[in-house]
Amino acid sequence: MAHNLIDDTGGASWADPAQQGELWEMARARSSDSFNGANPFGWAQVLTESGMGPYTVVSVAKYDDALQTAARAMASTGRPVGLVMWSGRHAWVMSGFESIGDPGVFPDFKVTGIHVLDPLYPYGSGQWGASPEPNSLVTPEQLATQFVVREPRRWSSGLPTGYLLVLPVASA
């Protein structure tokens, strides 16, 4: 999803199952995950290597700070942010946001809405809840029911406990 939001080459979307499988395998090959899946580091590396980056993985201790960090990165790069959901078990893409104040101008701006994409839509999770419709605008309170602190025991990232973001960074 992030690839499709970023890629402005005019090519076809990466919605074909074979293309999605290729990106998944690339991310798995770049991940160290005891569950044999892709982790945020693999996701960030694939986005970077495929020309969509650079991306990095960060952990932010406080929820409101995580939302501000994500919004600032989107505002400064024009690229989506990965949200590591369900204590590190799933991922959504933040495709936009609404705020009171411009992140580039006001250091104390407030995020009031987050546009999200969940690859499990329309199914969601019995434990975590329903998936929002693609590009839904959710409130910070709604997002907080599924965007929670990563469990460090889930996989060892070397990052402190916090809200994990696959964050676009400015090109060097």
Tens digit of pLDDT for each residue in 48-77?
888 888 999 999 999 999 999 999 999 999
> What's the N-to-C CA distance of the chain in angstroms?
24
- 129: which strand partners? 125
Euclidean distance between CA atoms 98 and 72, whole angstroms: 11
Higher pLDDT, 59 or 89: 59
For position 35, what pLDDT does the model report? 60
**Residues, the chain, total?**
172
- 91: which strand partners? 84
Q: Which domain holds residue 66?
A: 2-168
Nearest-Å Rg of the Cα atoms of the chain is 15
How many domains are there within the chain? Answer: 1
